[in-house]
């Protein structure tokens, strides 16, 4: 099992030795086949063009702070959903359907990067990418390349989070044990853990309040 | 409880333990398209399945069509969030208005069992006041029936699901057939915060059997209620009404998308429905038709069913179809505790409060809200954190803190408004039919309720010991869109769910509800359908004896 690189100061290493996939022998076969497939070879790219793939890759690395390998293959997982038209079906009246919206907004991202940084989004520096994205998020309901920025932001983050937090490596990082059938839980209640759960070793690492003990 | 098996044997027709009675499905009666069945029902969710079971028991030759599959939970459902996307209705739709409402996930259903397959399991009754909000509070609408008309149907359905919970002190006070479940860390913190603030909170009411019910096993508290209950502990019509219906000669025809309701130009009566099965257009003849496709697809089907008599859509003489569609405002507040909550353990539906349900004359807004435990799994929790504006490193850091958060959700009674409605878009689906366009805009009262609910939830979690609280705005549930009314000028169906325009056409789903209260709608949808079945049987008997 791989551990995603995340510094302890950024919330990493809170559940030492915990492996959700290590519990797979307790899962039902239908669930195990769906979840374990995510640990296999990522699907080939079928939907994005190479340019879109590059932009989506850089975008997803930013949104999920995946700076180095091993990474959850978020871009390939999003591509697979779009290729299979696995969407929620709805679209805003002032925005195209998800597949087209992805193509259109990734192209806009490259246009914007060329204008601001002199290179496509994927070729811009990490810092430039971060600033550019923060600028888009800050627009809120105002339009960005003809679409309300908050709807673009929602599209990107929705797909990125769904892919990332469906992956057992991400579950390991947050202490979530994943599927729970047919075993279920027997120790419920505040601070009540199952034998296979691992306690947080940095319980004071509260992202809202700030790090306890830090200056 | 004594006679529930005599009324509805579903729980005894399932295998002992998890699983499906495959024999019952294999031996299911099958009607031919040109058999004129007594009734064809469109949609096998809360409303359609209840109607089917009641009429099959009474000896009717009944067929229910559903656009989605006839689920086999052991094979088709998984204990996984992203892997459960197929439980939703994901056909194309357009959303609009000043507060567009995303569709297709928690507020949609697909396949036999409908959205109750993935609902949390909360099944509160409506309060008596919900049926008279116009008379009492000058807002919303008055139903053409009263709470008392539904009361014994509520009791019946509560026994059939069955419902577990503490004695319920709100609305019309009542008890539940099963004792309350033990609660998890999340429920415990709600109780702690409620006690500290002097707010009454109760365990339940949830449609999860506490103890064995028929052959259905006890809940294992695995926390994946929203992904379909593989255990058979949480109620959905797939296990609470469909087995009994099949045993009494009903047919369920899955993977059958209904595209139009046919009406005879000469008699003005419906003659059956057009549907597509495996790409082949077919027509099921029927003596009566009941539409139960829920608040988006029911109006869409009516609007797409045009004829010389109904050029603007079936039953749409007074431009009522698709109107007064409601969602509930569902703000979600999370609180951070140094202790480990692990809110994903145990069913999301555990504890609720209806203390703020009714109009408070000291407040500037009408009607109210309820508060319930919710416990988002990682993807849904990430959406909550993202909605706070966090992304990148901050998102990962927040998410690593998941074990420390507890979460409450409110249901705010948004008011019915004529312009919140389904119309047809220019866009077509794969069958070549115009898709639904759903426009939604909040009114001032809606916004005030969201704010009040948020403040109350933040107060509770803070009193429970949370050092920080964060709230996001979201929506839940759909009702209305083909509401019942006293007269044809104000609605689409009467109190018995019979359409004003076509005497042998019924609508038996959530779209007939004129108001929504702050209650999850499933139980009321089932009760209304059960009552419609009774009325049909009584009126049918009367007309036969005449």
Q: Is a pLDDT exceeding 50 seen at residue B358?
A: yes
- In a mutational test of the A interface, the residue from B20, B78, B187, B222 whose CB has the highest number of chain A CBs within 10 Å is B78
How confident is residue B168, by pLDDT bands cut at 50, 70 and 90?
very high
b/e for B332-358, b at 16 or more Cβ within 10 A? bbbbbbebbbbbbbbbbbbbbbbbbbb
Q: What would the mean pLDDT of B457-478 be, rounded to a whole number?
A: 95
Predicted confidence at residue B2, as pLDDT, reads: 58
Q: How far apart are CA A174 and CA B404, in angstroms?
A: 10
Average pLDDT over chain A reads 94
Percent of all residues in chain B with a pLDDT value above 90, rounded to a whole number: 97
What pLDDT shows up at residue A205? 83
DSSP string, B200-236: --EE--BSB-SS-BTTBPPP---S-GGG--TTS-B--
pLDDT band at A1 (very low <50, low <70, confident <90, very high): low
Distances, alpha carbon A167 to alpha carbons A37, A121, B105, B277, in Å = 10, 26, 20, 36
Per-residue pLDDT tens over the stretch B251-268: 999 999 999 999 999 999
What's the average model confidence in pLDDT over B268-294?
98
Which H or E run includes B410?
strand B405-412
Q: Do B222 and A97 lie within an 8 Å CB cutoff?
A: no
A163-199: pLDDT as tens digits: 999 999 999 999 999 999 999 999 999 999 999 999 9
Q: Check: CATH 3.40.50.300 for B20-545?
A: no
pLDDT above 70 as % of chain A: 95
In chain A, pLDDT over 90 holds for what percent of residues?
92
**Does any CB of chain A come closer than 8 Å to the CB of residue B26?**
no
Token pair in block for residue A126: 């990490």
Q: Is the dihedral of CA B157, B159, B160, B161 positive or negative?
A: positive
Rounded Cα gap, residues B539 and B67, in angstroms: 30
pLDDT value at residue B450: 98
**Cβ neighbourhood burial of A142 (10 Å; 0-12, 13-18, 19+):** exposed
Query: Using the 8-state DSSP alphabet, how is residue A58 labeled?
Result: H
With a pLDDT cut of 70, the percent of chain B lying above it is 99
Angstrom distance (rounded) from CA B481 to CA B204: 29
Global pTM value: 0.97
Would the pLDDT of B244 be above 50?
yes
Average pLDDT value for residue range B308-324 = 97
H or E element at residue B454: helix B444-463
Q: How confident is the model at residue A210 (pLDDT cuts 50, 70, 90)?
A: low
B224 part of contact set with chain A, CB < 8 Å: yes
Q: What is the pLDDT of residues B53-85, one digit of tens each?
A: 999 999 999 999 999 999 999 999 999 999 999
Give A112-143 pLDDT, tens digit per residue: 999 999 999 999 999 999 999 999 999 999 99
- Judge: B396–A10 Cβ closer than 8 Å, yes or no: yes
Compute the average pLDDT of residues B315-330: 98
Residue B545 — very low, low, confident or very high, per pLDDT cuts 50/70/90? very low
Check if B344 contacts A (Cβ < 8 Å): yes
Chain A residue with minimum CA distance to B73: A30
Q: Do A31 and B80 touch (CB under 8 A)?
A: yes
Strand order in the sheet with B280-285: B256-263, B270-277, B280-285
Cβ distance B185 to A179 less than 8 Å, yes or no, reads no
Q: Other C-beta atoms within 10 Å of B51: how many?
A: 32
Assess B337–A contact: CB distance below 8 Å, yes or no: yes
* Distance from the B300 Cα atom to the nearest Cα atom in chain A, whole angstroms: 15
Q: Where are the domains positioned within chain B? A: 20-545
Q: What pLDDT digit, counting tens, does each position of B431-465 carry?
A: 999 999 999 999 999 999 999 999 999 999 999 99
How close A154 gets to chain B, by Cα (Å)?
9
Mean pLDDT over all residues of chain B?
96
- Give just the sign of the alpha carbon dihedral B333, B338, B339, B341: positive
The predicted structure's pLDDT at residue B542: 54
Residues 6+ apart with CB under 8 A from A60: A66, A74, A75, A78, A160, A163
Which residue of chain B comes nearest to A166, CA vs CA?
B82
> Which residues in chain A have their CB less than 8 angstroms from residue B391's CB?
62-63, 133, 137, 157
pLDDT for A215 beyond 60: no
Nearest to A185 among B75, B346, B377 (CB): B346
Q: How confident is the model at residue A212 (pLDDT cuts 50, 70, 90)?
A: very low
Site of tokens 């087209």? A100
Residue whose structure tokens are 């509520």: B154
Residue with tokens 């919900």: B130
CA distance B480 to B368: 18
- Which one of B224, B395, B403 has the shortest CB-CB distance to A181? B224
Chain B residues close to A149, C-beta within 8 Å: none
Model confidence at A204, pLDDT cuts 50, 70, 90, reads confident
Q: Is B82 on the interface with A (CB under 8 A)?
A: yes
The yes-or-no verdict on residue B172 having pLDDT over 70 is: yes
Residues B102, A65: C-beta atoms closer than 8 Å:
no
Task: Report yes or no: B378 at the A interface, CB cutoff 8 Å.
Answer: yes
Q: Name the more confident of A212 and A202.
A: A202
**How far apart are alpha carbons B74 and B52 in whole angstroms?**
24
Could you give the 3-state DSSP secondary structure of residue B83? helix
Contact B500, B131 (CB under 8 A): no
């Amino acid at each position: 099992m791989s551990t995603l690189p995340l510094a302890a100061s950024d919330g990493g290493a809170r559940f030492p030795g915990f492996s959700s996939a290590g519990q797979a022998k307790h899962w039902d076969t239908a669930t195990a086949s769906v979840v374990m497939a995510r640990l296999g070879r990522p699907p080939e790219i079928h939907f994005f063009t190479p340019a879109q793939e590059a932009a989506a890759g850089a975008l997803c690395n930013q949104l999920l702070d995946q700076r180095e390998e091993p990474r959850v293959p978020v871009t390939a997982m999003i591509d697979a959903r779009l290729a299979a038209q696995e969407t929620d079906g709805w679209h805003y009246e002032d925005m195209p359907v998800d597949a087209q919206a992805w193509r259109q907004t990734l192209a806009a991202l490259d246009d914007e990067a060329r204008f601001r940084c002199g290179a496509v989004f994927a070729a811009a520096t990490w810092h430039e990418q971060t600033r550019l994205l923060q600028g888009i998020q800050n627009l809120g309901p105002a339009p960005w390349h003809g679409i309300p920025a908050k709807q673009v932001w929602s599209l990107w983050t929705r797909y990125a989070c769904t892919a990332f937090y469906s992956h057992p490596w991400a579950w390991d990082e947050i202490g979530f044990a994943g599927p729970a059938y047919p075993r279920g839980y027997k120790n419920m209640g505040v601070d009540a853990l199952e034998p296979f759960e691992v306690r947080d070793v940095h319980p004071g690492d509260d992202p809202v309040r700030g790090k306890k003990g830090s200056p | 409880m004594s006679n529930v098996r005599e009324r509805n044997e579903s729980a005894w027709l399932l295998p002992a333990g998890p699983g499906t009675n495959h024999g019952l499905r294999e031996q299911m009666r099958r009607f031919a398209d040109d058999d004129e069945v007594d009734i064809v029902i469109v949609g096998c969710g809360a409303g359609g399945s209840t109607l089917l079971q009641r009429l099959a028991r009474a000896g009717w030759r009944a067929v229910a069509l559903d656009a989605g599959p006839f689920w086999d939970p052991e094979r088709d459902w998984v204990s996984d969030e992203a892997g459960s996307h197929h439980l939703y209705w994901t056909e194309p739709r357009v959303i609009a208005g000043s507060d567009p409402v995303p569709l297709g996930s928690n507020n949609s259903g697909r396949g036999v069992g409908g959205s109750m397959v993935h609902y949390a399991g909360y099944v509160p009754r409506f309060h008596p006041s919900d049926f008279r909000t116009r008379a009492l509070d000058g807002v919303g609408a008055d139903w053409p029936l009263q709470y008392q008309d539904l009361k014994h149907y509520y009791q019946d359905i509560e026994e059939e699901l069955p419902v577990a919970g503490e004695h319920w002190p709100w609305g019309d006070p009542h008890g539940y057939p099963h004792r309350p479940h033990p609660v998890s860390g999340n429920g415990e913190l709600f109780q702690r915060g409620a006690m500290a603030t002097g707010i009454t909170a109760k365990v339940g009411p949830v449609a999860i059997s506490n103890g064995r019910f028929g052959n259905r096993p006890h809940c294992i508290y695995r926390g994946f209620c929203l992904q379909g209950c593989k255990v058979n502990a949480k109620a959905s019509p797939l296990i609470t009404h469909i087995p009994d219906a099949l045993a009494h000669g009903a047919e369920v025809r899955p993977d059958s998308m209904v595209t139009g309701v046919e009406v005879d130009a000469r008699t003005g009566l419906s003659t059956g429905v057009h549907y597509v099965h495996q790409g082949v257009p077919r027509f099921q003849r029927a003596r009566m038709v009941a539409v139960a496709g829920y608040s988006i697809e029911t109006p869409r089907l009516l609007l797409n069913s045009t004829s010389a008599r109904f050029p603007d859509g079936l039953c749409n003489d007074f431009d009522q179809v698709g109107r007064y569609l409601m969602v509930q405002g569902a703000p979600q507040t999370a609180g951070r505790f140094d202790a480990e909550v692990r809110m994903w353990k145990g069913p999301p539906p555990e504890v609720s409060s209806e203390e703020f349900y009714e109009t408070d004359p000291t407040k500037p807004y009408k009607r109210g809200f309820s508060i319930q435990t919710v416990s988002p799994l990682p993807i849904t929790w990430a959406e909550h954190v993202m909605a706070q504006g966090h992304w990148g490193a901050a998102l990962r850091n927040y998410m690593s803190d998941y074990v420390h958060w507890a979460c409450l959700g409110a249901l705010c009674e948004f008011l019915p408004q004529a312009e919140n409605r389904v119309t047809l878009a220019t866009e077509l689906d794969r069958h070549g039919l115009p898709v639904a366009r759903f426009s939604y805009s909040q009114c001032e009262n809606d916004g005030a309720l969201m704010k009040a609910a948020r403040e109350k939830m933040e107060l509770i979690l803070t009193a429970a010991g949370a050092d920080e609280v964060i709230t996001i705005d979201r929506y839940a549930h759909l009702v209305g869109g083909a509401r019942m009314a006293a007269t044809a000028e104000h609605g689409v169906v009467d109190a018995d769910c019979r359409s004003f325009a076509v005497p042998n056409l019924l609508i038996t789903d959530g779209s007939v509800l004129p108001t929504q209260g702050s209650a999850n709608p499933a139980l009321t949808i089932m009760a209304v359908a059960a009552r419609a079945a009774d009325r049909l049987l009584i009126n049918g008997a009367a007309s036969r004896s005449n």
